[in-house]
Every structure is written in C-alpha cells, then in structure tokens.
C-alpha cells in the first residue's frame, strides 16, 4: 500500500497526468498551487511505478540544495529508498534518485536517462542547464513531468518548447475553502513605495536601486512596528531585496528585541539548518532572506515535524506575479489560524490577491516594458482610500463602502506609511463578478470591449492572450495587429 495517501483533488491531478500520457504526451507541465502537495503526488507516482516494476527508474530534480534535503526527508519518511545526484556524492545504483539540476547537467553525458523524470519548480525551465537536461531526457524516451505553481516567467519566454501539454489542479481558492491551505488576512499599504528612480534589470527591478528605495529607516522601522502590532509572536519569513537589505532588516528586528536570523544563497548547510530549527523551536521569530526561502520551501519538511510558517513580510517589490505568489504561499500551508501577510511593497495592489483566479498558458508573452514612471499596477486592482478594500479597477465607487474611487496616486513621502487590512469579503465578491463578466465575453471583440471598460492600457493585447489561451494557441504578430484594429474600431 502506498505511503502517500492522496486527497481527492490530488488523485484527480494524477488522473489528468495519466490521460495526457495515454494521448502520447512525453513532456507534461503540471500546474498546482504552492502547498498543494506536488511532492506528495510525485512520491505517489514513484511508488505506483515501482509497484509495477521495481526496476523502474524515477528521478526528482530540484534547483537548490535545501530543496534536495527537503525532498530527501519526504521520500525517506514515505519509505521510498533512493539515492542522491548532487555534487560531492557518488551516485548510487538505486532506481529512484533525487538530484539537483546543476549536477545532472554536468554529468548527463555519463548518466543513463530515467524512465520518469520530475522537474520541480518548472517555471524556471529555461536557460542552458534546464533545457539541456530536459531535451536530453526527452530524446532518450523519458517521460518528463514538470511541476510548478506559477507557470509564468518574468522574461515572457514560453514553456511550450519544453512541454507539449499543460494540466491544472484545483484552484487556490478551492484549496482554501476545503481547508487544504490556510486562509489569510492581508494588510497592505495604501501608499505605494516610491520606485520612480528604480530602473529595470533582467526583467525585474534593479536590485541595488530597489534596495536603496526599500531600506530607508522609515520602511524598515515600519516593518518591525507593524509586525509587533499585527503579527507579534508569529513564526515569520521576511522577503528582502538583497543580502545587505536582509541583514539590515534582521538587525532592526534584533535591536527591537525580536530574535531574527538572516539567510541567503551563500549560507552554509549548517547555517540554514540552524535558522530553520531555531524558527521551529522559537529561538528565532523572524527569518529574513534574499532569494532563498521562495520556491518549494516547507519549514515542516526542513525540520521533520509539523511546524508551519505563520506570517510573511514583503519588503521586496517585484514585477513578477510568479515571484510574488511563491513568496506569500510560504506562510499559507495548512494550519488552524489564518496566515498574516504584511505587504510593505505594494505587491497585492500590483498583482492581486493570492487566491485570485489566474489564466496560465504554455505560450508565454512578450515582457512588459516599464516606463520611466512606474505608477500603474500591472493588473487592474484598486484600493479604496476610505475602507481600504482591494477590488478590480474600472469602477467609480468602492463596492464595499460606496466611496468614490480616488484616481490620484499618493506618494510615499506625503504621508506616514500604515498597513490596513484588506477587506476579503469585498475583494472576493468583486473577483467573482469580474470572473463572471470575463466568462460572458464570448469572442475577441467582446473581450477587447471588456478590457477597454476596465481601463486597460493595452486592452487588445490582454484580450487576445485570454482568447488564444482558451483555444490553447499562441498569438502571432498578425493576430496582435488585427486585435489592435478591432480595438480602434470600438
């Protein structure tokens, strides 16, 4: 009997994978909300494959060593005997292996491809290392299954070159309703950080300039004050811009009497273990980090017992909806009380709520070009200046309190920053209305008209992407040009 007992929705996800395989698909992208249990599903499939043939080779590849250790513990807990493909270790002859993508890349010419290969956090699957390994496996008959909660890259590159079908699990909102994920209380600032002097670099904000904007004493100080007010005592992860910013923030918490620890990609295994165990044991209450505690991180798996993160602090603005979601979901694993999200970076207003329904595609899109004044959200979300409810843009009155929507953007240096609770009931009601409205737009012309009513800058581009995604097709330059003509006629 399998050590992995699947929930109904996880079993449904496995069934969708089987259907795709039965149709002849050899590389499949599986999309499921962070904390859905993708590692559990992979473990279940591994056990099922080995039950049919004990010699079936299955690999599970990750991109960081801390995730390697995490998956290693999960597989051993489920009594799946396996080896490790990682630097500094000699590979065993066991059919099941957990490895890092970098080590497999460096050794693949001397390795025998597996029968099944899982690639975790598959939205990262572009670039020489990932593409070389995946194409090598596909060319040798391996069934490649990519797993991700956020199949959208900041650079807009398509994933369809590597995966020929995408399947999706139940939505985040459904998982919250079923108690599979923690509900949450979100606090965001009605005053966005002033990023007018922060340029782009690599598709996101320039880290050095962003750190300068976000490490001002008032912002870092507010993070400590708001945590004490809204999340005091909760096990917390804090997302910072770079190493210096993270260390500075940890020091600010320590100076305020809140035990905090910093980790980043250069931290040793012992330092990461101490940080995780300290957070679990209560020696630390806050873990600040830079680009480490994001994709796939599970504190319970790291420490070997049920011990979830309870709060996340966003001090790192990002143009990537995928990065934003990966950050906030670290605190939304199942637990009795709602997670607390403290957003000092304006991410909720820019990218929407964590449980927002999003449409994903294998086709990618052209990366947006940021203008000199980045004072418009990438998605149509507005915050009421009176009750602080967050809702879809394009309306003149707040759906919660009826207050007139203020169009003028307020600057950071005009008022003192203060986090206000997001009114979830108002947001959910507006989100439901917006989904229904979009679903009732049957054709491209209707979608473009809807985009214009919502005040979108590029209504035709948004509408075309939605329209083509419904048909699982990739829009061409000609399609965009024709959509522009339709927009001009409306």
Could you tell me the residue range of the domain that residue 459 belongs to?
441-489
Q: Are residues 160 and 16 in the same domain?
A: yes
Q: Are residues 248 and 301 in the same domain?
A: yes
| 429: in domain | no
CB half-sphere exposure, 171, CA atoms < 13 A: 10
pLDDT along the chain (490 residues), means of 10: 78 94 92 84 91 93 85 86 89 91 92 94 80 93 91 68 89 89 84 71 73 70 87 94 90 95 89 92 93 76 86 89 87 89 87 83 57 42 53 57 55 47 68 78 88 81 82 77 87
Q: Are residues 140 and 260 in the same domain?
A: no
DSSP string across 116-155: EEEEESGGG--SHHHHHHHHHHHHTT-EEEEEES----TT
| 431: in domain | no
| 432: in domain | no
**pLDDT at residue 296 in the model:** 65
Between CA 375 and CA 100 the distance in angstroms is 39
User: In this structure, are strands 236-239 and 311-314 parallel, antiparallel, or unpaired?
Assistant: parallel
Whole-prediction pTM value? Answer: 0.70
Q: Which of 170, 205, 240 is the last residue of a domain?
A: 170
**pLDDT at residue 389 in the model:** 46
Among candidate residues 428, 465, 463, 436, the one with its CA nearest the CA of residue 354: 428
Q: Which helix (H) or strand (E) holds 201?
A: strand 200-201
Among candidate residues 85, 61, 57, 86, the one with its CA nearest the CA of residue 71: 61
Q: Are residues 398 and 345 in the same domain?
A: yes
| 160: in domain | yes
Evaluate whether 119 touches 129 at the Cβ level (below 8 Å).
no
Evaluate whether 169 touches 30 at the Cβ level (below 8 Å).
yes
Can you say how many angstroms the Cα of residue 103 is from the centroid of all Cα atoms in its chain?
Answer: 25
User: Strands (DSSP E) along 218-370, which ranges?
Assistant: 236-239, 260-264, 286-290, 311-314, 339-343
Here the tokens at position 230 are 């809204």
Q: Are residues 208 and 350 in the same domain?
A: yes
Q: Are residues 31 and 71 in the same domain?
A: yes
Residue given tokens 């001002």 in the structure block: 216
For residue 56, give every residue at least 6 positions away whose Cβ sits within 8 Å of its Cβ, in sequence order, or none: 49, 50, 95, 115, 116
Residue given tokens 């009497």 in the structure block: 257
Between CA 431 and CA 414 the distance in angstroms is 31
Residue given tokens 């035990």 in the structure block: 259
Evaluate whether 331 touches 341 at the Cβ level (below 8 Å).
yes
Name the DSSP letter for residue 404.
Answer: B
Q: Are residues 151 and 217 in the same domain?
A: no
Total domains in the fold of the chain: 3
How many helices and strands (H and E) does the chain possess?
17, 18
Name the DSSP letter for residue 366.
Answer: P
CA 251, 255, 260, 264: dihedral to nearest 10 degrees? 0
User: Strands (DSSP E) along 291-362, which ranges?
Assistant: 311-314, 339-343
Residue given tokens 């048909």 in the structure block: 471
Between CA 207 and CA 101 the distance in angstroms is 26
Residue given tokens 């957990």 in the structure block: 98
Evaluate whether 102 touches 129 at the Cβ level (below 8 Å).
yes
Q: Which helix (H) or strand (E) holds 100?
A: strand 96-100
Evaluate whether 439 touches 402 at the Cβ level (below 8 Å).
no
Q: Are residues 156 and 195 in the same domain?
A: no
Q: Are residues 375 and 450 in the same domain?
A: no
Between CA 349 and CA 391 the distance in angstroms is 9
| 200: in domain | yes
For residue 88, give every residue at least 6 positions away whose Cβ sits within 8 Å of its Cβ, in sequence order, or none: none
| 434: in domain | no
**pLDDT at residue 375 in the model:** 40
Q: Which of 155, 170, 185 is the last residue of a domain?
A: 170
Q: Which of 141, 170, 199 is the last residue of a domain?
A: 170
| 104: in domain | yes
CA 473, 477, 482, 487: dihedral to nearest 10 degrees? 90
Among candidate residues 116, 146, 181, 144, the one with its CA nearest the CA of residue 335: 181
Q: Are residues 138 and 95 in the same domain?
A: yes
**pLDDT at residue 391 in the model:** 52
Q: Are residues 456 and 412 in the same domain?
A: no
- Inter-residue long-range contacts of 464-467, CB under 8 Å, 24+ positions, other chains counted: 465/359, 465/361, 465/365, 466/359, 466/438, 467/443
**pLDDT at residue 360 in the model:** 80
Name the DSSP letter for residue 1.
Answer: -
Backbone angles phi, psi at 404, to 5 degrees: -65, 140
Based on its alpha-carbon atoms, the radius of gyration of the chain, rounded to whole angstroms, reads 23
Tallying the residues shown for the chain, one arrives at: 490
Residue given tokens 């797993």 in the structure block: 147
**pLDDT at residue 384 in the model:** 55
**pLDDT at residue 385 in the model:** 61
| 284: in domain | yes
Between CA 374 and CA 370 the distance in angstroms is 6
Name the DSSP letter for residue 474.
Answer: P
Q: Are residues 370 and 292 in the same domain?
A: yes
Domain of 369, CATH number, reads 3.40.50.300
């Amino acid at each position: 009997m399998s050590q992995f007992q699947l929930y109904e929705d996880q079993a449904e996800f496995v069934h969708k994978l089987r259907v795709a395989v039965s149709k002849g698909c050899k590389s499949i992208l599986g999309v499921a909300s962070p904390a859905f249990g993708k590692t559990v599903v992979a473990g279940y499939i591994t056990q099922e494959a080995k039950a049919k043939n004990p010699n079936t080779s299955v690999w599970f590849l990750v991109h960081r060593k801390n995730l390697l250790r995490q998956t290693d513990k999960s597989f051993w807990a489920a009594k799946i005997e396996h080896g490790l493909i990682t630097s500094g270790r000699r590979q065993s002859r066991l059919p099941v292996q957990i490895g890092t993508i970098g080590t497999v890349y460096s050794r693949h010419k001397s390795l025998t491809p597996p029968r099944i290969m899982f690639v975790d956090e598959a939205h990262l699957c572009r670039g020489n290392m990932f593409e070389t390994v995946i194409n090598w496996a596909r060319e040798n008959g391996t069934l490649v299954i990519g797993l991700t909660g956020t199949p959208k890259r900041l650079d807009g590159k398509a994933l369809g070159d590597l995966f020929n079908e995408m399947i999706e699990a139940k939505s985040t909102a459904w998982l919250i309703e079923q108690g599979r994920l923690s509900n949450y209380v979100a606090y965001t600032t009605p005053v966005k950080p002033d990023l007018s002097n922060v340029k782009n670099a690599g598709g996101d904000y320039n880290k050095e300039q962003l750190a300068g904007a976000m490490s001002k004493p008032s912002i870092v100080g507010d993070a400590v004050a708001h945590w004490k007010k809204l999340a005091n005592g909760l096990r917390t992860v804090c997302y910072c811009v770079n190493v210096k910013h993270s260390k500075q923030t940890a020091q600010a918490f320590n100076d305020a009497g809140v035990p905090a620890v910093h980790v980043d990609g250069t931290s040793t295994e012992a330092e990461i273990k101490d940080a995780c165990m300290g957070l679990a044991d209560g020696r630390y209450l806050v873990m600040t980090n830079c680009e480490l505690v994001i994709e796939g991180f599970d504190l319970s798996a790291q420490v070997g017992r049920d011990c979830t993160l309870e709060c996340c602090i966003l001090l790192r603005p990002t143009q990537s909806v995928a990065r934003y979601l990966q950050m906030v979901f670290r605190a939304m694993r199942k637990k009795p009380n709602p997670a607390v999200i403290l957003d000092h970076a304006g991410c909720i207003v820019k990218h929407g709520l964590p449980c927002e329904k999003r449409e994903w595609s294998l086709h990618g899109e052209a990366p947006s070009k940021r203008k000199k004044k980045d004072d418009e959200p990438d998605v149509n979300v507005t915050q009421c200046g009176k009750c602080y409810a967050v809702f879809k843009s394009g309306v003149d009155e707040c759906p919660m309190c009826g207050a007139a929507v203020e169009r003028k953007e307020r600057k950071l240096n005009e008022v003192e920053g203060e986090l206000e609770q997001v009114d979830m009931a108002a947001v959910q009601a507006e989100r439901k209305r917006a989904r229904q409205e979009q679903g009732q737009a049957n054709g491209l012309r209707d979608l473009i008209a809807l985009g214009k009513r919502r005040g979108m800058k590029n209504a035709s581009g948004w509408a075309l992407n939605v329209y083509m995604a419904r048909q699982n097709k990739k829009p061409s330059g000609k399609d965009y040009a024709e959509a522009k003509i339709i927009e001009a006629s409306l």
